[in-house]
Structure 1
Amino acid sequence: MDQEGQPLLSKEFQQVLLATASGNNSSWTERTVSNNESTDAVKHDLTLGQNEVFDLDPLSFDKWVPFLRNTLDKNQLDPVIDELENSVEDNFQGLELQLLQDSQINDKLETSIDEIANIQDMVQDTLSSEISKFQMKLSESANELIVKKQMYVNNKKISLKISEATILITKVVRILELSSRCQELITERKFFKVLQNLDSLEKLYLQEFKNYNFQFLIEIYNSIPFLQKVTKDECINLIRNSLNSNLGKNLIKVGQEFMAIYENELLPQWLETRTKMKLTNFKFNSPVEISMRDETSLAKLNLNEFFQLDDFHDSIMIFQSLNELNSLSSEFSKEYELRKTKLLYPLIWKKNKTVTYQMNSLLRGTGASPGVAGHDASSDDVFTQSLSLPFLQDYFLKILGFLLYDINLNKATEFTLVNNDYNSTNEFWDGLMDRLSPYLKYFIDEKLETETDMIKFKDFLCLCVAILENFKLNIEPLYKILVSIFEKFCSVSLRAFNDEFQILLNDDDFMPLSINDKTLYDKVLKICWMKEDEHLHLPDPTSEEPFSVILPFSPLYPMTCTLAKKTYSRITAFLSIFYRHELHTLNNILIKAMDDIFNDIVNKKIRSKLESTSREEIAQILINLDYFIIAAKEFSNFMTRENILQNSDMEIQLSSIKHLAESRKLAETKLIELIDSKISDILETIEIDWQTREIRQDPDISIIDLAQFLEMMFASTLQNLPYSVQTLLIFREFDSLTRQFMDILLHDTPSIITHESIINFEIDINYLKGIIPRIFPSTPGIIDSNGYQSPMTPSTPTFPNANSVDAPTLFENNIKSLEATFMELKQCIELLKAQGKGYNEPEIRLRKYSRIRKEDAALLLSKIERSATSKDGANNDDNSTMDSSSIFNPESANGTDSNASRIAKFFNRS
């Protein structure tokens, strides 16, 4: 029973036990378990089944297993056994006594005991016999076992040795296979695998056969260094073969491919985009252009598609695993240097320093460029003899291909072959340009002649520069060559300008430009730079009269302006697409070129024309120079606005403006000298009769000729001169004229002059004075006070100073100022006519004779002494005029030059 008083044996288990005990008699079992039947019944049953009491069915015990297992799982086996014993005692109590009291059973028990005894003896005998046999068999078996065990041990030793021999043979075979495989791989040029197999072979031998004295294995092992050397040699040969395939004609193809993509795809795409988006300020290969490139075109520029470098990777891995990268680098450098030398032929890559120094010294002595051997037809320098545009293009394509190959090789091998020199390509390129630059400069200076070739060569090199710049190579040396090409282009453009300008100058008629076509007139106005305050009086468009305009300058001016603009456009177009660097240098070259056009060509050639003795030609040259100064100034402003530096704060002023102004002054001086010379020549023809006793009513014929000359000259020859120049010349000439008449009166007259001659002289001077209003430039289209129409044509440019509201006042003031030049001469005539009366009185002298110097008055009065005042009066008059001064120059009134300076100062001219 358990702690809770519940039976540990279930009813079902008890039935199984009873059934087993009764020989599977279920009725008995049930009666026994129920304890409801009498002892007699039990006895009866036992009697009936006495032969079966001890017959236990093994299968019945199997029924106990689940219950016993359950009991074991619950750890209740001991209580169950105790309960079973108690149950036996409870259920079979008294049964033993009953059985002993039964006679039949007792008899059977006795009989059974005897039988059991016999059986026991038989069993003992049988067992003894069996044990003896078993012992004999066991001894035999033990002996057999020992023998077999000994055989097994022997066999096991043999088997182990066989296994060891098998393993050894397998390893030997493996070594033989590795050795054989190495040979095959060398033949197949799979050198890295060769090295791997050799490494495996070496490790296998050292681990397994180092202590064995197998001669053939020793020989195989000793062959490893040889195979390694063969592998290294084959790798070097492989690199040589790779260089042969990549550095042959393939380089030019690579250069051509890159150049074609840049020239035929990237450049046209950019030019189209730049036009559409109005990005004219941005050049090709600028960051803006690069950012807008077509990815399809860029994909074609993958260097890995052009060069095969697998052999280099294998070689590097092989030598790296052998720890001999330095050896590979050394061998590669030697081979690469040979390739460079062959590649650069006919350029000599390396020269003896002493020879180079001597050659450069010799070339400097002959004026040749340093570094270039003998630039002449007999030169032994093959490269110099080969110089031509096609040759240089092919040469640069080859160099470009090599540079791209070198860049790709170094990057692909992580600069292993060049000992981590990340600037190796640039160093080679810089060294090459050092050698090549003198030849290129010589080619540009001596062989690059036409503008077409210059543009072609420039475009080619600019594309090379763009490619090199994109691959981070130094473009400065090559860009300097491009600057030299630009300088040469400017020089050739200047020569072309010079030739055309010389033709224009020779064909120019040095006459004002007459235009009868309105369309042509509009074109001329667009081409030429005019004065800011210049106004052209055009014919009335409603008039039926034909269109006719006369411009002050000659045809040379508009044609030169056109030529200058075309030259400038051509030069700037040369720079417009590619040139992005050193813009200050390029701008200075451009400014110098335009300065040379206006100074060295236009100014100097026009200045040479000033040797002419034609007043009309000199006058027209002066007018042209006046406009060329305007053109130079306006061109300076134009270049300032359109400067290639794109700098709005920059100001450009051509120095030729100053030189043109100097030439203009020279032209003025030359014109004055010619007019002075002509007037002097005319004055030399004038003969005044100072002894006459007759009074003329009209001026002398020579005076009339002089007046007509002056009228004609200022009305026609000088009519188109600038207003200020005309005024200056008129003042200058009349001042000179009055001075010369003063000299005649003072020094070319006899000692005694008649009163009649003085009156005739006054008539001549008054006639000359009277032409002043007719020759002085007045407002065009206005009739002056004398009824004289201004000689200027209706189309003649006029200026505010001459055409403003105050023009009549200005005209009157100029007339009065010009007439004042006759004041001194007029006072001398009055002094002679009055025979010096009143001269000694200060008031009269200051009022009537303020311009006459004391010594001049004394000289004049001495010439009429006999018929005039006394000598003493003359002396008094002389003293009274000592402090007289000129109205224009208080300091001095002497000389033609001083008067010209005074008049120039009066009109604010330097």
Structure 2
Amino acid sequence: MPTLLDGRGDLEYAIQQIVLSPSENEYFDQLIPAIKDATTGGKGQALLQTLSQFSDDREAEIERICKSNHQEFTSSVNQLLKVREGGNKLTNDITELIKAIQASTEKLADQKQALKESRAVRTNIDETTTALVACLEVLRLANYVHDLLNQKSHYAALRALDELQNIHLRGVTQYKIASMIQKSIPITKKLIADAVMADLNTWLFRIRETSQFLGELGFYAVEQRRKRHRERAEKLGYLADYKLNSAIELVADESTEFDVLDNEDVRVDFTPLFECLHIHNALGQTDKFKAEYAATRKQQKDLMLPTSITLVDSETSSLSEMLESIAGFAIIEKATLQKAPSLRSPVDVDELWESICQSAISLISKALPEVNNAEMLLKIKGVIALFIQTMESWGYPVRSLDAFLLILFRKYAELLKRRFSDDFQEIVMTDDYMPMPINNGDEYDKVVNVSWYTPEKPREEIRFPCVLPFSQMYPLCCIDIRNFLNQFYFFSDDHFQQPKVIDDTLRSSLDELLAEKVCQSLVERLGSQYLGQIVQILINLEHFETACRELEQLLAAARSSSSVGGSVALSATEQFKNHKKTAEKRIFELVNSKIDDLIDTAEYDWSAQYGTSETSSYMQELTQYLSTTMTTVLIGLPTEIKELIYFDALGHAAEKILSIPLSPDVRRINPNGVAALALDVKFLSTFVETLGNPILQETLDELRQTIALMQSGNTDEYYDISTRNKKYGRVNAMNGPLLLEKLTQAVASPSRAEKFTAFSSKFYSRDT
């Protein structure tokens, strides 16, 4: 049923429906919507007019009907009047109803307007509440970021800030709080970056404080590896050829694990570094962080190194502390490179390492001149070698440190040479140059063990006390030589990459010490007038020559595999050998000088009227001197040298004795003078026979034959070449005639002069 009245036709239709309603309820059901729609749409007047028109039409119809039927009309009029009255009443009711409905409609409209306004306010409140909740959430997250920052949860704070910026702020961009928080985000990020850097700096400071302890642990770990390697090398000899940090050693020791960075004593947590790197990476500041971290580590490197060190403390603590700090610093760098390869490049780490090495080498070099003790320098080398092996185990290049060890070795060699030079010189200068007495077997064994000496008798046949051929200086020098060798090779223990340098330096230094400080010092003392001292020097020279030959073999055997093969030659060996001849000549000089002195005391009366039956005193003294010298002073010499000295001394004595009658001062010699000389020569010959060496007799042949010639009754035999060669072959061709001439009386006869002239001409013509 239509309820909307758009025009008059609709109103008429609605009125017809109202009038035609079969019941009162339906009547009102039709009437009320029509009144409501007319009132609401502003057509209330039109509804009244339509109702009036409908009423007039009905009256006209009634009047027409009444004209046709008056009675009925009258009746109808009455009814109509009643209806009209009812209609008027109904119209009034409708009017009142319309007014009431209109008033109700206006009130309803006001209520609706109020409801609409209430709904708008509610909507605004809801929107405000939603916005406030969103803003509060943003503010809560902003505060939460700062709370996380205060709790040092830097990465969580950064993630919350990222969530705040990319998610929550987008929903409140229309509010001022969003712009305020947006402006604070860069500041907050900087706060996070600064906070994480502060934590990193704290971590770096703690790392710096523990660097020395880390280095100490690193040294300890390598020292333990050294110990294990030595134990394995003792069990398996071939392992001794492999150095520490070699592949074989690393494989053999891989069962023993020790983490310098994580153990019972210390644990280095890299979390602050990783967090800082991660946060700067999230902030897009990785390059800046790398630069700052590199600058900080360089600064820490500079702060870690002292301005100066001392190397003369007994425990080398200053050097150890510096190297331990460097080791700990370098271990952290290498661990950082392994754990965070994007932070540190190998080139950067190696450059920083090389810088540290050069700084350390510079500090050690400045302090090195104050070291004047080889043992202290050996301790310094040991600390540096341990440092090198520790760093080598972490993969660091150590070429510059190896080169510096060569500098240390040269200084070490110089200090050793200087010290042993003084020792050798003192030993040579303070020696008594007497055969060394031995009181007991223990003393004997010690001397034999340290000296290069092979006794002539077995140990069990030796009776104590006894005397060794060399003087005390020889075993003392042998001890020093062995110490010198050992201390040289001590430098190569643990770590030294240039053993050939040790071999060459040791050979040259030892050669120089033996040649200049021992051999030359002994040669200088050959100027002594004491024969026993010269003899002892000769014996010592011989033993030193033997020692040098033994040393050559020892140096060749101990030579490193990197050295060129072949024998080792010491120039000192040849010098000792050559200067034995010098000592022998000096002995000859002293013996012959003594012989000259004795023979110069000889007094022969060449014109004696009577003969003598007593040997001259000088001859007795001469034989006594030769006998005593050979049995006491020269007893320690080898037999061949003693025989040579005897041979030379007897030859010189014979020549000196022969020179007595040949002297220009002796003009005439009678048979009595010859007999006195012959008696002395016989005494000397008898003494030589007691020596039991036929060769020594040859030294007197010329003297004996000359005496025989002078005592010969037939001197003409001398001028017969065949007879002379047979009987007087050793007589000097010039001395024989000269002595025969002195045997003549006051003036030589013409026949004798002619014979001498003829002999001389024949002799020279034969020689020609």
Give the distance between the partners of 1:319 and 1:689, measured in 2 at CA. 124
1:528 aligned to 2:451? Answer: yes
Does 1:871 find its partner at 2:737?
no
Cα distance in 2 between the residues matched to 1:270 and 1:538: 40
For residues 445-481 of structure 1, the C-alpha deviation after alignment (integer angstroms, 9 at most, x for no partner) is 4246373x45544443332222111012233444455
Equivalent positions of 1:270-419 (< 5 A) are 270-277=229-236, 287-293=247-253, 295-296=255-256, 298-299=258-259, 302=262, 306-347=267-308, 389-414=316-341, 416-417=343-344
CA contact (8 A) 1:861 1:874 kept: no
Q: How far apart in 2 are the matches of 1:850 and 1:431?
A: 90
- Helix, strand or coil at the partner of 2:716: coil
Superposition pairs of residues 581-730 of structure 1, within 5 angstroms = 581-595=497-511, 598-643=514-559, 645=561, 649=565, 651-730=567-646
Report the secondary structure of 2:760's partner residue. Answer: helix
Q: Contact 1:205 / 1:221 at 8 angstroms: preserved in 2?
A: no
Cα deviations across residues 755-812 of structure 1 (Å, max 9, x unaligned)? Answer: 332343233333323322434xxxxxxxx4xxxxxxxxxxxxxxxxxxxxxxxxxx5x
**Alignment counterpart, residue 427 of structure 1, candidates 351, 354, 358:** 351
C-alpha deviation, 1:721, in angstroms: 0.7
Kindly tell me: are residues 587 and 875 of structure 1, through their superposed partners in 2, closer, same or farther at Cα, counting changes over 3 Å?
same
> What CA distance in whole angstroms lies between the structure 1 residues aligned with 2:766 and 2:125?
153
Tell me by how many angstroms 1:289 deviates. 4.2
Q: Secondary structure at the match of 1:837?
A: helix
Whether 1:557 aligns to 2:474 is yes
- The structure 2 residue matched to 1:822, chosen from 683, 700, 706, is 700
* Change in CA separation of 1:386 and 1:873 when aligned onto 2, cut-off 3 Å: closer
> 1:505 and 1:771 mapped to 2: Cα distance?
38
Q: What CA deviation, in whole Å up to 9, does each residue of 1:278-298 have, x standing for no partner?
A: 565555555544434374552
2:214 aligned residue (254, 260, 265): 254
- Structure 1 position 832, deviation (Å): 4.1
Distance 2:480 2:130 in 1: 99
Q: Do the aligned partners of 1:517 and 1:548 also contact (CA within 8 Å) in 2?
A: yes
**Equivalent residues in 2 for 1:803-814, closer than 5 Å:** 811=693
Match of 2:678, SS state, is helix
In structure 1, what is the Cα distance between the partners aligned to 2:588 and 2:622? 16
Taking the aligned partners of 1:499 and 1:386, their CA distance within structure 2 comes to: 24
For residues 633 and 475 of structure 2, what CA distance do their matches in structure 1 show? 21
Per the alignment, residue 844 of structure 1 pairs with 723
Give the residue type in structure 2 aligned to 1:237: A
Mark the CA change 1:620 to 1:458 in structure 2 (over 3 Å): closer, same or farther: same
TM-score when normalising by structure 1: 0.62
* Distance in 2 between residues matched to 1:207 and 1:158, nearest whole Å: 26
Contact 2:428–2:518, Cα closer than 8 Å, also in 1: no
Say if 2:434 is the partner of 1:511. Answer: yes
Which residue matches 2:194?
Answer: 233
Partner secondary structure for residue 434 of structure 2: coil
- Equivalent residues of 1:182, 1:194 under 8 A apart: yes
- Opposite residue 257 of structure 1, the aligned amino acid is L
State how 1:776-791 maps to structure 2 within 5 Å. Answer: 784=692
Deviation at 1:227, TM superposition (A): 3.1
The one-letter amino acid of 2:187's match is F
8 A contact 2:500–2:563 mirrored in 1: no
C-alpha distance in 2, partners of 1:884/1:434?
87
Give, in whole Å, the separation in 2 of the partners of 1:641 and 1:720: 32
Distance 1:600 1:281, change over 3 A: farther
Match of 1:781 in 2: none
CA gap 1:666/1:564 in 2 versus in 1, 3 angstroms = same
Instruction: State the match for 2:94 in structure 1.
Output: none
Q: Which residue is 2:674 aligned to?
A: 758
Distance in 2 of aligned mates of 1:836 and 1:301: 112
Task: Show the counterpart of 2:99.
Answer: none
Residue 495 of structure 2 aligns to a residue whose secondary structure is coil
> Contact conserved, 1:707 with 1:771, CA < 8 A, in 2?
yes
Q: Which residue of 1 aligns with 2:149?
A: 186
Q: Distance in 2 between matches of 1:529 and 1:384?
A: 38
Q: CA deviation at 1:712?
A: 1.7
Report the Cα distance in structure 1 between the residues aligned to 2:460 and 2:207, rounded to whole angstroms. 77
Structure 1 residue 436 corresponds to structure 2 residue 360 = yes
Which shows bigger deviation, 744-753 or 644-653? 644-653
- Contact 2:212 / 2:325 at 8 angstroms: preserved in 1? yes
In structure 2, C-alpha distance between the alignment counterparts of 1:459 and 1:343, rounded to whole Å: 22
**For 1:298, what is the secondary structure of its paired residue?**
coil
DSSP 3-state at the match of 1:771: helix
How many angstroms apart in 1 are the aligned matches of 2:227 and 2:400?
A: 27
Cα deviation digits, residues 520-542 of structure 1 (max 9, x gap):
545544443235xx73388869x
Structure 2 segments unaligned to the other structure (5+ residues): 1-21, 38-118
| 1:416 aligned partner, one-letter code | L
2:759 equivalent to 1:880 = no
Q: Give the counterpart of 2:394 among 471, 474, 479.
A: 471
Structure-1 separation of matches of 2:323 and 2:445: 50
For 1:876, give the aligned amino acid.
A
Name the amino acid aligned to 1:821. Answer: T
Structure-1 residue corresponding to 2:76: none
Contact kept? 1:303, 1:408, Cα under 8 Å? no
Contact 1:407 1:425 in 2 (8 A): yes
User: Partners in 2 of 1:261 and 1:493 — Cα distance?
Assistant: 32
SS at match of 1:579: coil
Contiguous gaps of at least 5 residues in structure 1: 1-128, 145-155, 348-381, 776-783, 785-810, 886-890, 892-910
Aligned partners of 1:827 and 1:849 also within 8 Å: yes
Secondary structure at the residue paired with 1:535?
A: coil
Residue-by-residue CA offset, 1:612-660 (whole Å, 9 max, x unaligned): 2211111012112211211221133233334455989554343332332
Matched, 1:216 2:177: yes
Which residues of 2 match residues 76-95 of structure 1 at below 5 A?
none
Note if contact 1:690-1:749 (Cα within 8 Å) is conserved in structure 2.
no
Residue 394 of structure 1: how far off its partner (Å): 1.9
Q: Is the 8 A contact 2:471 2:536 kept in 1?
A: yes
Report the secondary structure of 1:223's partner residue. Answer: helix
Considering fraction of residues, name the structure with more helix: 2
Query: How far apart are residue 435 of structure 1 and its match?
Result: 3.3
Superposed CA RMSD in Å reads 4.4
CA distance in 2, matches of 1:832, 1:512: 47
TM-fit CA distance, 1:172: 5.7
1:619–1:323 distance in 2 versus 1, CA, 3 Å: same
Q: Distance in 2 between matches of 1:495 and 1:560?
A: 15
Displacement of 1:607 after TM fit? 3.7
Q: Distance in 2 between matches of 1:398 and 1:448?
A: 26
Q: Which amino acid aligns with 2:700?
A: F
Compared with structure 1, are the counterparts of its residues 396 and 526 closer, same or farther at alpha carbon in structure 2 (3 Å cutoff)? closer
Equivalents in 2 of 1:766, 1:440: separation in Å? 80
1:141-156 alignment to 2 at 5 Å?
none
Tell me how far apart the structure 2 counterparts of residues 425 and 383 of structure 1 sit (CA, whole Å). 28
Structure 1 segment 68-217 matched on structure 2, within 5 A:
175-204=138-167, 214-217=175-178
Tell me the matched-pair count: 653
